[in-house]
Structure 1
Amino acid sequence: MTVTESPTSRVAQILSRPISLGGLTVPNRIVMAPMTRMFSPGGIPGEDVRSYYARRAAAGVGLIVTEGTYVGHDSAGQSDRVPRFHGEEQLAGWAKVAEDVHAAGGTIVPQLWHIGMVRKQGEPPFADAPAVGPSGLVTAGAEQTGKAMTQQDVDDVVNAFAEAAAAAERIGFDGVEIHGAHGYLLDQFLWEGTNRRSDAYGGDPVARAQFAAEIVAAVRAVVSPDFPVLFRYSQWKQQDYTARLAETPQELEAILAPLAAAGVDAFHASTRRYWLPEFDGSDLNLAGWTKKLTGKPVITVGSVGLDGDFIKGFQGEGAPVKGIDDLLDRMEAEEFDMVAVGRALLQDPEWAAKVLGGRFSDLKPYDAAALRSLS
């Protein structure tokens, strides 16, 4: 697909504007989307991780959301090469990442993550830890294969997120993002397909949001009042791309309102294609509806700058460059506030600089081999 040459002045006017998230001023509207990497042996981010993020910040990304990082709960993950956000060595490594990003002119938040029932028993970093979830189900209609969380389990996970957030502020990060999307633990509570509880954490959308709201509130309580708390959520799940938390705007509002009230400063609405409308009768995408319903700043994401679904990238397929005129139109209309870029930034660390500078002819198509290099 041929890229439409948008005037540099228009791109600069729309994407170069600073924005406030809590007490943080982000220099522009471009966000680096969180993308899982397995380049941190022992869960410790090293020099290559520092360079990976600092390079994108130096090229104009305003806000970096790190790859998912495991919180301090033994069941949180299933790889010893995914970074952790607990432990002395791990946090020391992350402190250097934040320092380098700041030196390059960017801002950065860690994405705090618990995978829940996605975990396979016996995997590192804590092989004996069980897979846990609201009802022990990995997807709708599945048999119970894991542990349904007790109140003590719930409390332990809430505390793990709070401790990670406090650590993020202590070691110099600019905020935190709580991962509530894509079929992982918080999303397993939000989705009725995996939440079959009959206590305070299950039932209607408000009850299913209780666990996530408690995490947000606990995080909010241990960080400074102006330290931004972001929350990422999605309708789709990695276990079921057609799954939906909400079939109507009213159902979506019932889920998001408790999170906003608990202290979310900005939402990150994850879709596979940002240009698709979310509900019948409106052109608004999921981010647009999120902003309309909550009044909070919202980040949109989903195949930005590329003509092709990101899931196919994991299947070895590339994607040609796609113009961003529609994105600019929607941001100009204030449908959403920021845009997160994933594969395009993975492929081309200079993507933000090229777009902000109007160098559209220099943009590169996506090559799935980039998933193996992650430079």
Structure 2
Amino acid sequence: MSALFEPLTLRSLTFPHRVWMAPMCQYSAAPEGPLAGVATDWHFTHYAARATGGTALVIQEATAVSPEGRISPYDLGIWNDTQVEALRRITGFVTEHGGIPGVQLAHAGRKASTERPWKGGAPVGPEAHGWQPSGPSPVAFAEGHPVPHELTADEIREVVGQFGAAARRALAAGFKAVEVHGAHGYLIGEFLSPHGNHRTDGYGGSFENRVRFALEVVDAVRAEWPEDLPVLFRISATDWLEEGGWTGDDTVRFAALLKEHGVDLLDVSTGGNAAGVRIPVAPGYQVPFATRVRAETGLPVAAVGLITDPAQAEKIVANGEADAVLLGRELLRDPYWARRAARELGAEIRTPGQYARA
């Protein structure tokens, strides 16, 4: 039997196999007005295609816990009930066709208020539906980016509360797994790394202080999320800086704390917190970071990053390098990747009756 297509259980939730969809922003919601952040027909079609394509866990793109937490003005949100109603259509379809609907809860921090990637991705101001971003310290992400507003202690507590409220709405929307976005240089990752966190209060300086915000967010989410359903956390395992950044050692240490705070699986990516760094991109280049976390902490992990071939994915799971694989761009290219992989590896997965004759 294929290891990639064996079920995996986290708490009471059993995933039919280990081919999962990584969160990938679509930048396709209205930027303002009563439909701001609300899922559209594009979102429904996008996620429905991956569900009928056989993907076991369909994680919805970074979904902002507040208007200011969006990466772009066109991101999805989960800060009001209108957004919840639109999401129920997506989660219902994914569930009906054998998938597990998941959602990534996010706050973009100092990397917020940017244009859509195909429009250049540069920071935008009020004239283009933008706003002033916020972060742990008044340090811009890169040249040409605005200096963010430094969050006060009271504002930090407010954001923690927004994550908790978002988890409550995610449950009402029908999601079965929730992922906290702590990667790629967005707000939580900014607090974790000394590269972007220059605070001198209880949220900066030492490792213990820099992880405080992340753990408070996890606790707020876990308090709202059912005990029998899993919480995932996405991490950038390294900033790829020679010094002054977040490291693989930090990730292992932090993963052990996340496990104590009720996180069930670590989604291991890298980078995004420092501009202009050299990243040794190659097939599976991030997998060793996931493998190390799994080996040293016992926390289940998912690997992501240039995993494109079924045999490659099978090897990662069969060798115990990760418990699941997350596909990003590959699922944009091929929504039916899971079906193709199952056929190549001699496995069987659920097929919609409408497609059975194929």
Which TM-score band applies after superposition, normalised by the shorter structure?
Answer: 0.7 to 0.9
What is the CA–CA distance in structure 2 between the aligned matches of 1:57 and 1:248, rounded to whole Å? 33
Aligned to 1:167: 169
* Paired position in structure 2 for 1:28: 17
Residue 138 in 1 paired to residue 140 in 2? yes
1:350, distance to aligned residue in structure 2 (A): 1.0
Match of 1:259 in 2: 258
Residue of 53, 77, 80 corresponding to 1:87: 80
Kindly indicate whether the alpha-carbon contact (under 8 Å) linking 1:109 and 1:176 is maintained by their aligned counterparts in 2: yes
Relative to structure 2, which stretch is displaced further, 142-151 or 327-336? 142-151
Question: CA deviation digits over 1:70-112, x for unaligned, max 9?
Answer: 112x421253321111222211111111001111110011111
The corresponding residue for 1:332 is: 318
2:226 to 209, 224, 227: 224
Number of the residue aligned with 2:98? 105
Q: Which amino acid aligns with 2:99?
A: G
* Residue pairs, 1:36-47, within 5 angstroms: 36-41=25-30, 42-47=36-41
Unaligned 5+ segments in structure 2 are 31-35, 114-123, 271-280, 347-358
Q: CA deviation at 1:122?
A: 3.0
What secondary structure does 2:147 align onto? coil
Q: Distance in 2 between matches of 1:111 and 1:166?
A: 13
Secondary structure class of the residue paired with 1:231:
strand
1 CA distance for matches of 2:345 and 2:311? 14
Q: State how far apart, in whole Å, the 2-side matches of 1:96 and 1:197 are.
A: 42
Q: CA RMSD in A?
A: 2.6
- The 1:38–1:247 alpha-carbon spacing in structure 2 relative to 1, beyond 3 Å, is closer
Q: How far is 1:130 from its partner?
A: 3.1
Partner letter of residue 5 of structure 2? S
Alignment size in residue pairs: 321
> Which residue pairs with 1:15 in the alignment?
4
Partner SS, residue 79 of structure 2? coil
Equivalent residue runs for 1:240-255 within 5 Å? 245-247=245-247, 249=249, 251-255=250-254
Q: C-alpha separation between the residues in 1 aligned to 2:21 and 2:140?
A: 28
Distance, in Å, in 1 between the alignment partners of 2:246 and 2:72 is: 31
* AA matched with 1:58: T
Cα gap change, 1:343 to 1:117, in 2 (>3 Å): same
- 1:69·1:110 contact (CA, 8 Å) conserved in 2? yes
Q: Distance in 1 between matches of 2:135 and 2:184?
A: 14
User: 294, 298, 306: which is aligned to 1:295?
Assistant: 298
Residues 183 and 236 of structure 1 are in contact (CA less than 8 Å); yes or no, is this contact kept in structure 2? no
The answer to whether the Cα contact below 8 Å between 1:186 and 1:211 also exists between their aligned partners in 2 is yes
Separation (CA, whole Å) in 1 of partners of 2:317 and 2:3: 7
Q: Deviations over 1:18-46 (max 9, x none)?
A: 11122211111011111111122221112
Change (3 A) 1:140 1:46: closer
Identical residues among aligned pairs (%): 32
Distance 1:233 1:175 in 2: 16
Output the CA distance in 2 between the equivalents of 1:181 and 1:288. 17
Q: CA deviation at 1:124?
A: 8.6
Secondary structure, aligned partner of 1:15: coil
Aligned pairs (5 A) from 1:67-86? 67-72=61-66, 74-86=67-79
Residues 39 and 126 of structure 1, relative CA distance in 2, 3 Å threshold: closer
Equivalent position SS for 1:31:
strand
The Cα shift of 1:236 comes to: 5.2
Q: 1:192, 1:227 → 2: CA distance?
A: 32
Question: What is the letter of the counterpart of residue 195 of structure 1?
Answer: N
Q: Say which of 183, 186, 189 aligns to 1:184.
A: 186
Deviation at 1:114, TM superposition (A): 0.5
Equivalent of 2:49 in 27, 41, 55:
55
Residues 289 and 359 (structure 1 numbering): CA distance in 2 closer, same or farther, change over 3 Å?
closer
Whether 1:341 aligns to 2:327 is yes
